[in-house]
Amino acid sequence: MAAPEQDAFAAEGAWARRMLLREIEAYGALRDPAWRAAFAEVPRHLFVPSYYAGGADLLRFDDPDPARRDRWLRGAYRDEPLAVRMRDGELVSSSSQPSLMALMLETLEVRDGDDVLEIGAGSGYNAALLCHRLGDDRVTTIDLDEEITASARAHLAAAGHRPAVITGDGAGGCPTRAPFDRIVATCTLPSVPYAWLGQCRPGARILAPLSTGLILLTVRDARHAEGRFLATPAYFVPLRGTPPAPQGRLTGLPRKALDSETFRFALTLTAAVLDAREAYSLWQRERRPGRDRFGVTVADGRQWAWLDDPEGPYAWPLGMPDGN
């Protein structure tokens, strides 16, 4: 988006950002003034010059119809995920829901001087928020798709930020920019890539979508990490180049199981070992546990999901996205 076009949307965009802040705060995020300032000052519309609304309806900043341009700008500041790139009818890149982004960024608990790796460049908006908080030289974002990284780089430059934007396989991390204090993924994983641990400083945090939840790991060293899921649900585009997580077959189950989002989450975590009926029986027996009762341990080349206690009776192996 060229400078004159940016200026044309600046005033209305500032008003729309204030409305977005209210929505995010109502969600319970942005308690940290530094992140509130980032969301207040980084213009999201620069990162979504076009996006799909309601299926195949492409809204663009340069639409000749003023009404559609207004729809584009208002939509850019709704607290909703936006589909920004489709390929052969499949969603390959999106801009996440801002309130969920705010929750994730605050959960990272970054400190001044931290180095952060983002897995999945997307539109570049999340990287821009990190740059606002930490400075451009502390932020690295990586994506497998060259078109996505080129677009993210351009959007970031338009907003005045120049972090390291790398084209590469996010499952392998970014060894040339390591070590990192925080790793945050904006794409769903079937399990935790071991390479990430070796690129983290001791005590680093990793926050990543896994199944339909967000796992927050604390890294002890290059071979050990452990943590629990956040309570909130999270749905992201899968990390490209990794196999899909097992889903489990929803057969022979009562309607209340099929309708339960938390059961579907538990079923995905246990699918490598339990069939759907076994998973449902466990879920019922353990008082229908929510996401935050589950966790993940990575230790000495193995990783497993667990309920309540990493050394307890309920543990299930996770697949390895790096093929090990």
> Which domains does the chain show, CATH number per domain?
3-186 (3.40.50.150), 255-317 (no CATH)
CA-to-CA dists, residue 138 to 74, 187, 203, 212, angstroms: 31, 21, 17, 29
- From 107, 129, 121, select the one nearest 182 (Cα to Cα): 107
- In the predicted model, what is the mean pLDDT of residues 201-225? 97
- From 159, 119, 96, 110, select the one nearest 138 (Cα to Cα): 110
Signed CA dihedral, 122, 124, 127, 129: sign only: negative
- Confidence band, pLDDT 50/70/90 cuts, at residue 83: very high
Whether residue 179 has a cis bond before it, omega within 30° of 0? yes
Residues 6+ apart with CB under 8 A from 65: none
pLDDT at 324: 38
pLDDT at 322: 45
- In the predicted model, what is the mean pLDDT of residues 50-79? 93
Is the pLDDT higher at 243 or at 204?
Answer: 204
Active site residues: 96
The answer, yes or no, to whether residue 52 has pLDDT greater than 90, is yes
CB 82 within 8 A of CB 59: no
pLDDT at 278: 92
pTM comes to 0.93
pLDDT at 87: 85
CB 174 within 8 A of CB 225: no
Q: Does an H or E element contain 316, and which? A: strand 315-317
Please count the CA atoms within 13 angstroms of the CA of 241 that sit on its side-chain side.
Answer: 13
- Confidence band, pLDDT 50/70/90 cuts, at residue 323: very low
Strand order in the sheet with 180-185: 164-167, 139-143, 116-119, 180-185, 200-210, 213-221, 224-229, 294-299, 302-307, 315-317
pLDDT at 4: 46
- Confidence band, pLDDT 50/70/90 cuts, at residue 91: confident
% of the chain residues with pLDDT over 90 = 78
The answer, yes or no, to whether residue 321 has pLDDT greater than 50, is no
Of 13-17, 221-225, 313-317, the range with the lowest mean pLDDT is 13-17
How crowded is residue 55: how many other Cβ atoms within 10 Å of its Cβ? 8
Give the span between the Cα atoms of 94 and 122, in whole angstroms.
Answer: 6
- Confidence band, pLDDT 50/70/90 cuts, at residue 6: low
pLDDT at 5: 54
% of the chain residues with pLDDT over 70 = 92
Of 233-242, 257-266, 313-322, the range with the lowest mean pLDDT is 313-322
Mean pLDDT for the chain overall? 91
Give the span between the Cα atoms of 56 and 78, in whole angstroms.
Answer: 19
SS3 content of the chain, % helix, strand, coil (to 5): 40, 25, 35
pLDDT at 65: 96
- In the predicted model, what is the mean pLDDT of residues 159-175? 97
Is the pLDDT higher at 299 or at 56?
Answer: 299
pLDDT at 56: 81
CA-to-CA dists, residue 117 to 4, 137, 174, 186, 196, angstroms: 32, 11, 8, 11, 10
- Confidence band, pLDDT 50/70/90 cuts, at residue 176: very high
- Backbone phi, psi, residue 176, to 5°: -70, -15
